[in-house]
């Protein structure tokens, strides 16, 4: 029996088939390796043409191995999204910290800038996060919680700005929270979805985004403050 197994392994090395050279039978840290492989492959070929088989191959394991750790392709991508959301939250928080408590509108702008910068630098991760068909957003407590955390920070900043009279007269708080989010999301998605070409955005993407953000921030501010 053992001879046969060794023979099979020998043949595998000779034909150099799917699972290539690996030190031991067990991978060691397959979960992380799969997440990394998934990101790398999405960066190469896009989200929709990602296959679990290729992820497995890149990680150096057989096609069925990923299903030991993720119940489905969706579960794998949801794990990628969780990792991505952590980094996004981190990036936004870091940018926010560069502003003081004195100017909530500057804080709001920092959130937008941090969000856009991160999306620009990590389009793949962003794409995975914002999808609701590839991942199971509401099935992940982490995703829901971190998303809510950002929303609460924005809500607090906007409410703070209102109390200090920094907002333009006539603007409803509820509308502004939603609008700010929609605006940033729209800018980021237009870039991700490749709509910059059609809209003749000829400046570098980061520059166009930043200018648009400046305009938005300017327009919601009180006239006297400008």
Partner DNA sequence: CCGTTGATGTAAACGTTGATTACATTAGCG
Partner DNA sequence: CGCTAATGTAATCAACGTTTACATCAACGG
Yes or no: say if 130 and 189 are a contact pair by the CB < 8 Å rule.
yes
72 binds DNA (CB under 7 A): yes
Total count of residues recorded for the chain: 226
147 binds a copy of itself (CB under 8 A): yes
Q: Which of positions 165-224 make contact with a copy of itself (CB under 8 A)?
A: 168-172, 174-179, 181-187, 189-190, 193-195, 197-201, 208, 211-212, 214-216, 218-220, 223
Nearer to a copy of itself, 70 or 216 (CB): 216
Q: Which of positions 16-35 make contact with DNA (CB under 7 A)?
A: 17-19, 22, 24-28, 30
51 binds DNA (CB under 7 A): yes
Number of residues that bind DNA (CB under 7 A): 34
73 binds DNA (CB under 7 A): yes
Bridge partners, residue 167, by sequence: 221
Contacts 24+ apart (CB under 8 A), 89-97: 89/146, 89/149, 89/150, 91/115, 91/117, 91/118, 92/118, 92/150, 96/153
Nearer to a copy of itself, 59 or 167 (CB): 167
46 binds DNA (CB under 7 A): no
Rounded Cα gap, residues 170 and 221, in angstroms:
11
Piece in contact with a copy of itself (CB under 8 A), picked from 24-32, 74-82, 85-93, 164-172: 164-172
Rounded Cα gap, residues 80 and 77, in angstroms:
5
Yes or no: say if 81 and 137 are a contact pair by the CB < 8 Å rule.
yes
- H helices of the chain, where? 2-15, 30-45, 52-59, 73-97, 104-121, 123-130, 141-163, 173-192, 205-220
CB neighbours of residue 164 within 10 Å: 14
| Residue burial 100-113, b: 16+ Cβ < 10 Å; e: rest | eeebbbbbbbbbbb
Quick one: which of 63, 201, 206, 222 contacts DNA (CB under 7 A)?
63
Interface residues toward DNA, by CB under 7 A = 1, 5, 8-9, 12, 17-19, 22, 24-28, 30, 50-54, 56, 60-65, 67-69, 71-74
Interface residues toward a copy of itself, by CB under 8 A = 46, 48, 130-134, 137-138, 144, 147-148, 151, 168-172, 174-179, 181-187, 189-190, 193-195, 197-201, 208, 211-212, 214-216, 218-220, 223, 226
């Amino acid at each position: 029996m053992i001879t046969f197994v060794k023979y099979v392994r020998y043949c595998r090395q000779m034909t150099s088939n799917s699972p290539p050279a690996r030190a031991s039978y067990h991978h060691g840290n397959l979960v992380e390796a799969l997440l990394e492989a998934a990101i790398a492959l999405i960066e190469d070929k896009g989200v929709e043409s990602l296959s679990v088989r290729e992820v497995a191959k890149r990680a150096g394991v057989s096609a069925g191995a990923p299903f030991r750790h993720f119940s489905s392709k969706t579960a794998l991508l949801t794990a990628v999204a969780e990792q991505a959301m952590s980094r996004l939250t981190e990036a936004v928080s870091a940018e926010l910290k560069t502003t003081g408590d004195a100017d909530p509108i500057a804080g709001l702008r920092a959130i937008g800038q941090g969000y856009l910068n991160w999306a620009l630098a990590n389009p793949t991760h962003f794409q995975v996060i914002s999808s609701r068909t590839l991942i199971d957003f509401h099935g992940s407590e982490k995703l829901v919680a971190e998303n809510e955390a950002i929303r609460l920070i924005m809500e607090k900043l906007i409410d703070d700005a209102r109390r200090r009279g920094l907002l333009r007269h006539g603007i409803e708080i509820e509308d502004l929270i939603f609008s700010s989010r929609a605006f940033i999301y729209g800018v980021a998605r237009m870039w991700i979805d490749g709509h910059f070409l059609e809209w003749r955005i000829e400046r570098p993407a980061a520059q166009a985004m930043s200018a648009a953000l400046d305009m938005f921030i300017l327009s919601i501010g009180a006239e006297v403050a400008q």
